[in-house]
Amino acid sequence: MIVTISKYGDRWDLLAYDLLGDAALAPALMAANPALVSLCENHIPEGARIVVPEIAAPAERMTQTKAPWKQD
């Protein structure tokens, strides 16, 4: 099991892209961390322990680009 610590400003879609390679996998990441899911906000508290689920087979990437603010 892989666990990471959230940083200020992390969101489920950004973490899914960074950790799982596809922002469309945010629901899988959220399902692995039900205690952190909030209906009121998309942001994850800073310093939270995030469990990264194992994805059985890497799916074809649904999102081809990062968000503009995440470009390197």
Q: Where are the domains of the chain?
A: 2-55
| Architecture, CATH, for domain 2-55 | Roll (3.10)
Q: What pLDDT, on the 0 to 100 scale, is given for residue 42?
A: 75
Closest CA to 18 of 56, 54, 52: 52
Whole-model pTM? 0.72
Q: For residue 5, what are the β-bridge partners? A: 49
pLDDT tens for 18-46 read: 999 889 999 999 999 999 987 656 788 89
**Number of helical (H) and strand (E) elements in the chain, helices listed first:** 2, 2
Q: What average pLDDT does the structure give for the chain?
A: 82
Q: What pLDDT, on the 0 to 100 scale, is given for residue 11?
A: 92
